[in-house]
Amino acid sequence: GQQVMQIPQYQHVQEGEDFTTYCNSSTTLSNIQWYKQRPGGHPVFLIQLVKSGEVKKQKRLTFQFGEAKKNSSLHITATQTTDVGTYFCAGRNTNAGKSTFGDGTTLTVKP
């Protein structure tokens, strides 16, 4: 079945440093979504990418979808303590009516 791998599993950064998490799918995706889950909370939708090579920005967050639509990345510029949490990618296979979540990358930011 479809597998979605996400790396790294954990990332510890100093406040102000950049952060990137990578998501790779074993199959071509129709779309990929990114979610953020704060400690003790539930996942919150951040963004969706649909087009090959698509790049979207939300303030300090930059999301990319690979040309082959099998990988994606989330980059945070100049991290802040409010960025802490676990970031999940969720890839939807063209032929399946569901999304498969990656294992998540847990970000901690040291002030």
Q: Which residues bind another protein (CB under 8 A)?
A: 1, 30-31, 33, 35, 41-45, 48, 50, 88, 90, 92, 97-104, 106
Q: Are 26 and 3 in contact (CB under 8 A)?
A: yes
Nearest CB to another protein, comparing residues 55 and 78: 55
Structure tokens belonging to residue 21:
């998490």
Smallest gap from Cβ 32 to another protein, in A, equals: 11
Nearest CB to another protein, comparing residues 18 and 94: 94
Distance CA 51, CA 76 (A): 21
Q: Are 8 and 107 in contact (CB under 8 A)?
A: no
Nearest CB to another protein, comparing residues 19 and 34: 34
Smallest gap from Cβ 56 to another protein, in A, equals: 13
Q: Which residues pair with 29 in a beta bridge?
A: 93
